[in-house]
A = this chain, B = another copy of it.
Amino acid sequence: MTGRPGAAEAGFGEVLEAGGPRLAELLERTEARLAEVARSHGDTLGRHAGATLAAGGKRLRPILLFLCAGEATSDALVDAAAAVELLHMATLVHDDVLDRAPLRRGRPTVFATDGPAAATATGDLLFSRSFAELLRSRDPEAVRDLSRASSALARGELMQRADAWSADVPEERYLERCVLKTGRLFEAACRLGARLGDPGPAAADALGTFGAAVGLAFQIFDDVLDVSGPVERTGKHRGTDLLDGTVTLPLILARRADSGLRSLDLRAEVRTPEAAEAVCDRIAATGALTAARERALEHVAAAKAALDEASLPDRTRRALELVADGVVARYA
C-alpha cells in the first residue's frame, strides 16, 4: 500500500482508462487548483490546508463530476470539482477532530500535528474556499447544489453522533444517514457535472439521482469494508466503527439473526480493537456481510437504471456504469 492510495489503487483503474486523456487532464488541472488553494493562504494556514490536500485520496467525486459532463473540459468544471473535493476534505478534517484521529491515509492529521483549534479552523477555511471556487462559475444554481450538499453533510454528522451507541438504530434511519453523509455530495458532484457540462441543466436531475444512488452504495460498502477488511488494503483495523459507537448496516442485519448481538452493549463490551474484531467475526458468521453487499448492489442497479432518463453518449454511460460497479468492488 502506498502512502496515497489513488483511484487506480482503490480499484478504479478501469474508470480512469475509460475516461481517457480527457479525464486524466481534468484531474491534473484539479490537483493544480487544489495546490493553488493551499498555497494562497500563506504560512500557518497553507501548511495545514496543504497537508490535508496533499494527503489526497481517490478524487472519486471529481471523477464523477467530470464523467457526468460528457466531453466538456471547461475551467468551470475544474472549479466545481475543486469545490466538491474541498467540501469533502473540510468534513474529513472536522471528523478527525471529533474522532481524535492520529492518522488519515497513513499521514498525521491536522488534529494530530496542530491540535483541535487549528484543525477546526482549517476545516472552516476549506469550507469557505469550497464556495469561493464554485463562485467562479457565477452560476447561483450550481452554488445552491453545493450548499444543499453542505447542509446535508452537517445534518448527517449530527444524526450519526445523536445515534452513537444506540442499540436499535432502524435500517431506515441508517439509510437516511448514509444519504445525508455521502449520497448528497455524490449527487451534487453529478448535478454540477451535468449542469456545467455537455448534458446541461435538463440532465441534472437524472444524473443527480444516479449520483445519490452511487453514494449510498459507496457508503454501505464502506461500512461492510470496516467489518470485513482486508486490513492490508483498507489501512484500518476492522471494527473501527464499532469502537466509535457507530452502528452500521452489517450489525443492524446481523442482530436479526444473532440474539447475542441484539443484546450487545457496544459502549460497555466493545472497548478494545480485539473486542471489536471478535464482534466483526460474529457479524460475518451471520451472513450479514453478504446481505449488506447485496443491498449495496441493489443501489448500484438503481443508479444504472437512472441513467436511462439522461440521454448520454454510449462512452459516457459506459464510464459512469464502471464507477457504479467500482464502488462495490473496491479493494477486491
Contact = CB atoms under 8 A, between A and B. Distances in A.
Interface string A77-95: 0000000000000110010
A142 B135 CA distance: 10
Contacts of A150: 124, 127-128, 131
B124 A97 contact: no
Contacts of A115: 161
Interface stretch (A6-14, A20-28, A151-159, A249-257): A151-159
Contacts of A135: 140, 143-144, 147
Given A120-B120, A135-B140, A127 B125 contact: no
Total copies of the chain: 2
A98 B121 CA distance: 10
Contacts of A116: 97-98, 116
Interface string A108-128: 000000011110111111011
Contacts of A98: 116-117, 120
Contacts of A155: 41, 45, 121, 125
Interface of A: 41, 44-45, 48, 90-91, 94, 97-98, 115-118, 120-125, 127-129, 131-132, 135, 138-140, 143-144, 147-148, 150-151, 153-155, 157-159, 161-162
